[in-house]
Amino acid sequence: DAGVTQSPTHLIKTRGQQVTLRCSPKSGHDTVSWYQQALGQGPQFIFQYYEEEERQRGNFPDRFSGHQFPNYSSELNVNALLLGDSALYLCASSPIGGRAGDTQYFGPGTRLTVL
CB of 57 to other proteins, least distance (A): 9
CA distance 115 to 106: 27
Nearer Cβ to other proteins (12/16) = 12
CB of 16 to other proteins, least distance (A): 26
Nearer Cβ to other proteins (4/21) = 4
**Which residues face 53 on adjacent strands?**
50
Nearer Cβ to other proteins (59/71) = 59
Binding residues (CB under 8 A) for other proteins: these are 4, 31, 33, 35, 37, 39, 41-45, 48, 55-56, 58-59, 88, 90, 92, 94, 98-109, 111
Q: Write out the DSSP string of the chain.
A: ----EEE-SEEEE-TT--EEEEEEPPTTEEEEEEEEE-TTS--EEEEEEETTEEEEE-S--TTEEEEE-TTS-EEEEE-S--GGG-EEEEEEEEETTT-TTPPPEE---EEEEE-
Which amino acid appears at position 94 of this protein? S
Nearer Cβ to other proteins (18/41) = 41
CB of 18 to other proteins, least distance (A): 24
CB of 81 to other proteins, least distance (A): 20
